[in-house]
Amino acid sequence: MEPRISIVTLGVANLARSRAFYEAMGFRASSASQGDIVFFQAGAMVLALYPREALAEDAAVAAEGDGFRGLSLAHNVRAREEVAAILAQAAAAGGRIVKPAQDVFWGGHSGYFADPDGHLWEVAWNPHLPLSAEGAPMLPP
């Protein structure tokens, strides 16, 4: 297996609401979006939205359960000040601030928001992890 993540699919309760939220956050739906699935180009990856029940059925697992899922998505930024601005954008788009922007123990600055379905997003400025011109995090060798 090549070490890469190609698509992150979020199971959502209301596809139209979730699409509107992500579009308000700056994502643009692809023309490949149709019916019950929405695709967004997210750098070298794709973010997909799919009805929660249908996603569970596709994976052959129960759809019940919520709360902490043991997973968060992350959006790294180039400047410390961008963290609070993006959290405010998420709140204005219908998200919920889970952890306000603050300095963190590892030397950066971060905060968390939850999308309309409770999926956690960390917004982080990490002075130890520069971003390429395309926005990809650059890990040291």
What is the CATH number for 28? 3.10.180.10
The confidence score (pLDDT) of residue 35 equals: 92
Q: Which residue range is the domain that position 119 belongs to?
A: 70-133
Q: For residue 26, is pLDDT > 90? A: yes
Residue 141 lies in a domain: no
Single pTM value for the model: 0.86
pLDDT at 48: 96
Rounded to whole angstroms, the Cα distance separating 57 from 111 reads 33
**Structural domain total, the chain:** 2
Count Cα atoms within 13 angstroms, Cβ side, for 17: 11
pLDDT of residue 44: 87
pLDDT digits (tens, 9 = 90+) for 51-86: 999 998 888 888 887 677 778 999 999 999 999 999
Report residue 125 as tokens. 């400025």
